[in-house]
A and B are shown apart, each in its own frame.
Chain A
């Protein structure tokens, strides 16, 4: 992998693309409010950034972590843009009502509200939550990606979960009993 980065060539990049593009696409979709087109563009961009910033790659670290650090920073930059569409509380309530009025299965409704709730989280909470529970990174890896301590990561995860619980509490506990795996 190190050789691929240091002596980058188009075939080597294609290998990297095959290996990581799907994971990155999933991450970008989650981070960018389910905007698939933008997520696709971000996947293209991140591989161009790898070519540009290959000298910044620390060979002692994991490539997988490094590429997600870049991805995370790209999302952070996108969030800072004034025209970035983050879901306001009102929009969230409208979406929730729309989901309930639609003829969707209970599970599908829950998914929609879950996504909307995730979009409501603050950037740093959302990043940490997605990396941990959807991308399955370890706490140390998340600390490396987000350039924070493990303690901060734990704290952020706790508050992100708490916020998600508040946003999803409208769900009738009866549905939860039917829906959730753990009951």
Chain B
């Protein structure tokens, strides 16, 4: 019965919500009567209509109060546990890597149980051969030079001067007596004799 009601609940809802009992067709009435009485149908419909007036709708909501923007202090920020664990593990790892290891490692003392005579044979294995090879190289160096200018030197023989002095010129006596001035005229000049004769002839 309940399964049948489940199956027909949507159709029953459509009828109850939309139509009065007397508005139903005969077929619909028969369908409804399979699940409820006429009074029940009527009563359920009344409940739906009355729903409107049950609550007092005159209440007003309080004014909207928006909170001021919060600044979360750093110690109040929550972080996931796995992040904390990772951070601690990373710190420990870095600490261990950077911290100098001053502790001496205790090495186990090896005590021979029985003395063994060991004979060491040395076998030389020549795994590295060093060979010196002397290479003689003749280096030639050709220097190419370009002569850009030719310097010509012309030597000319010295031409004879117009008044070439000979070695037979008399050496003049230039004693102070001879140079003494006796008058104001040129004729009184003792040095007049030094002048060429050609000039003398003019006077």
A residues with a Cβ closer than 8 A to B are: 10, 13-14, 17, 21-22, 24-26, 29-30, 36, 40, 43-44, 47-48, 51, 110-111, 114-115, 118, 129, 133-134, 151, 154-155, 157-159, 161-162, 164-165, 168-169, 173, 176, 179-183
Q: Decide yes or no whether B6 CB sits under 8 A from chain A.
A: yes
Q: Inside 8 A of B49's CB, which chain A residues have their CB? A: 180-182
One of A13, A22, A30 near B61 (C-beta < 8 A): A22
Given contacts A22-B61, A24-B61, contact A133 B55 (CB under 8 A): no
Query: Please, how many angstroms separate the alpha-carbon atoms of A40 and B52 in the complex?
Result: 21
Bound together, the chains give a CA A183 to CA B45 distance in angstroms of 11
By secondary structure, the B interface counts as: helix
A13 proximity list for chain B (CB < 8 A): 64, 66
Contact B65 A44 (CB under 8 A): yes
- The secondary-structure label for the interface of chain A is helix
How long is the Cα–Cα vector from A22 to B6 in the complex, in angstroms? 36
CB-CB < 8 A to A154: which residues of B?
Answer: 9-10, 13-14
B46 lies within 8 A of chain A by Cβ: yes
Q: Which B residues have a C-beta under 8 Å from some C-beta of A? A: 6, 9-10, 12-14, 16-17, 20, 39-40, 43-55, 57, 59-67
B6 touches A17 (CB 8 A): no
Q: How far is the CA of A55 from the CA of B62 in the complex (A)?
A: 26
